[in-house]
Structure 1
């Protein structure tokens, strides 16, 4: 009897072809088995949409949408070519394009759930961040250098917004605006995400000044204001040119809070509504201000924010992640060398391309840190990781070796940036992650 030819899956973005050998595996499984990084924040359970792909060729060669997938596609107004990789199976050759390449793109997906042509009231936290003295910076540098400085400012200060489940709403000259909770969420969660983002921005700007802008003889200073309240959020505008918009007093107030930093001589101010979003004695606060904002008949209470009173693990991980993975291949090579030295028999588990395996490792590590701001998906993702590692032959006794090797590699890669505080944060996070994954170490 002639052998049936296995379907070929072509990944357009990386021009890679792989055989789809297991008819019981999903398209997402195919990526994972072949060491192709493929976002799946909820672990491939259909609860999120990060594994989405566009079928460029061969749409007829995959199974129809499941009921769950139909509901998602209808809500987000997808055309038939967009599919959830975790929900479809391949019957013959297809060509696909992964639509979410990294964790920073996930936040944009929140905007798909917003109404078209109308606006819905949502309780959101709003963050305004402004460069201080930008006119002077522009006058003292060439146009090209000024554009470079401004682009680096947007990048390093945009990342803390994105890693904390926020959406970058606008760039207005030398100002960046972040929104937290546009797709819903509780006051405490949205306010904590915004505060963590603001503190991450302070760390990012300090490092930008120290490591990158020193050659320009320029130091960027900034002011940040955070407010919380109910605003109208949606896609508004001309029927042929609608765009995401936020309307309401809370966003105007956030802008004025940011501006009040100049008068108060502070760098980071939060409103009373943000302060109320935290349990007592959570935040380390400085001075308290009472100010009548323009357009308000009442006094607005503001607090200078210094930081969290207790160590915030997510903040410490976020502040070190981009530097830690600045050279992903180097990080992975160091890690696996340590694993193989401590446990030589584990080398047998890695029979494929180690460079691809290394990129999967760093993809996974970064994804876990980003997923911490979306805890509803983190546990599902770790469950999936634990099961997939078990299928590869990873046993419970391998986890201590992995944990120790990761800790050592992180310390080496951070170098002078490594502190006892960062070390404790990574150790606790890695313990929590590996403990959750070990629950599935015996599942094959």
Structure 2
């Protein structure tokens, strides 16, 4: 029988001939993105065949259309459409939302010759205040370590909100929102969500950097909305996708004003106009910016006027990530203590099951603001749960235990607003899965 090897991961033998590579991943609890549910309506399950191309099925018409549009080589395949007939070695190409965005940009917008494309984007520029001055007392290794700790934490809200991280500039981050043809309102809302999430990430990390390296962590963020050019820039031997134009320069100059006006987030009028009534804003002020003939109206932003469900779930989940293994273990302990009748449904190793739980939660949280793309994956998961014997009432049991475990881990951060946000999101996800199982 065929053997499937995941490059640098694990090998599975005795794979039923004709099974798709996505089915192999699902059966063996290998986290594998498949937002459309394996219907060839997205490319998130894409893989690269490293060895054994002759041992898999030819492209289906649906896959051929996707591959042709993106200019894929013969080794890049959709796992949901690729059936195994012999030994094969594969590598999953996408692990997170940034991978999806970067590869889509390269395939659909980058252009083989580097031609550009004009897009309306919300551009975010962030910077650590006085980092160079405060870091002079530390060794180079410590500075790199601090920056990597910060970038890991601060980039996550950007990625979770469909942001494309263009580059890291010293201790700054340049990101763009709207590269996937989102509406101006959606792009600006995602950018503001990301900014608020970055402030939360910095707040959580600040005590550690202060204690270990005596460096205070305060950041400033500027956001501007306008037209920018997206293209592949650089030497022919090393080009990269980047955004350029006046919108990018303006976002950087807006960020530079955050220290002067003692506010962490500043928005241009072009951002605020896309979100009428949605933001908590302090009175604006007119500021002359370099290269501008007239002063620009800038607005300090403190958050959203109404609780934003997606932001609340994202920020609270980010707080769980460092304790993901403990949370997963505790969730299942609580579940089986409260509802012992559910234990027989979980036949796999609970360590692997806990990892799968956190992978599912992570994928759901990252996909909250692009639900149409992940509905297919949720429906496929609902059908598999139905095959395991999961009923509607079981989803209610899981909901009660999930909320209880979240409250246990988040403590005082699990406010009524956060609890309502999680109930709303879980209810939406569960109902999608249940409908798929019942139809």
TM-score tier (shorter): over 0.9
8 A Cα contact 1:36 1:356, kept in partner: no
8 A Cα contact 2:121 2:225, kept in partner: yes
8 A Cα contact 1:396 1:441, kept in partner: no
Pairwise CA distance, 1:378 = 2.6
Pairwise CA distance, 1:212 = 4.7
User: The residue matched to 1:55 in structure 2 has which SS?
Assistant: strand
CA distance in 2, matches of 1:50, 1:13: 20
**Residue in 1 that maps onto 2:335:** 339
Pairwise CA distance, 1:22 = 6.6
Q: Judging changes above 3 Å, is the alpha-carbon distance between structure 1 residues 242 and 216 closer, same or farther for their aligned structure 2 residues?
A: closer
Gaps of 5+ in 1: 1-5
Q: Judging changes above 3 Å, is the alpha-carbon distance between structure 1 residues 129 and 186 closer, same or farther for their aligned structure 2 residues?
A: same
Q: Judging changes above 3 Å, is the alpha-carbon distance between structure 1 residues 135 and 93 closer, same or farther for their aligned structure 2 residues?
A: closer
**Residue in 2 that maps onto 1:20:** 15
CA distance in 2, matches of 1:417, 1:423: 10
User: The residue matched to 2:322 in structure 1 has which SS?
Assistant: coil
Pairwise CA distance, 1:84 = 0.6
**Residue in 2 that maps onto 1:324:** 320
**Residue in 1 that maps onto 2:37:** 43
**Residue in 2 that maps onto 1:207:** 204
Pairwise CA distance, 1:94 = 1.6
Q: What TM-score do the two structures reach when normalised by structure 1?
A: 0.93
CA distance in 2, matches of 1:166, 1:153: 17
8 A Cα contact 1:229 1:250, kept in partner: yes
Q: How many residues align?
A: 436
Q: Judging changes above 3 Å, is the alpha-carbon distance between structure 1 residues 275 and 204 closer, same or farther for their aligned structure 2 residues?
A: same
CA distance in 1, matches of 2:80, 2:151: 34
Q: Judging changes above 3 Å, is the alpha-carbon distance between structure 1 residues 102 and 13 closer, same or farther for their aligned structure 2 residues?
A: farther
**Residue in 1 that maps onto 2:246:** 249
Q: Identify which of 386, 391, 394 aligns with 1:390.
A: 386
Indicate whether 1:10 and 2:5 are aligned: yes
Indicate whether 1:105 and 2:102 are aligned: no
Pairwise CA distance, 1:18 = 4.1
Which string of whole-angstrom CA distances, capped at 9 and with x for unpartnered residues, describes residues 343-374 of structure 1? 32322222222222221111000000001132
8 A Cα contact 1:114 1:183, kept in partner: no
CA distance in 2, matches of 1:386, 1:198: 34
Pairwise CA distance, 1:162 = 0.8
Q: Judging changes above 3 Å, is the alpha-carbon distance between structure 1 residues 48 and 376 closer, same or farther for their aligned structure 2 residues?
A: same
User: The residue matched to 1:284 in structure 2 has which SS?
Assistant: strand
User: The residue matched to 1:319 in structure 2 has which SS?
Assistant: helix
Pairwise CA distance, 1:416 = 4.7
**Residue in 2 that maps onto 1:184:** 181
Which string of whole-angstrom CA distances, capped at 9 and with x for unpartnered residues, describes residues 169-189 of structure 1? 111112111111123221011
Which string of whole-angstrom CA distances, capped at 9 and with x for unpartnered residues, describes residues 392-428 of structure 1? 2211221111111111121222235433332222122
**Residue in 1 that maps onto 2:213:** 216
**Residue in 1 that maps onto 2:138:** 141
Q: Identify which of 145, 151, 175 aligns with 1:154.
A: 151
Indicate whether 1:421 and 2:424 are aligned: no
CA distance in 1, matches of 2:139, 2:86: 56
Q: Judging changes above 3 Å, is the alpha-carbon distance between structure 1 residues 191 and 363 closer, same or farther for their aligned structure 2 residues?
A: same
Indicate whether 1:93 and 2:87 are aligned: yes
Pairwise CA distance, 1:125 = 0.7
8 A Cα contact 1:104 1:159, kept in partner: no
Which string of whole-angstrom CA distances, capped at 9 and with x for unpartnered residues, describes residues 74-130 of structure 1? 333322111110112112222211122344533323322213221010111100001
8 A Cα contact 1:62 1:92, kept in partner: yes
**Residue in 2 that maps onto 1:131:** 128
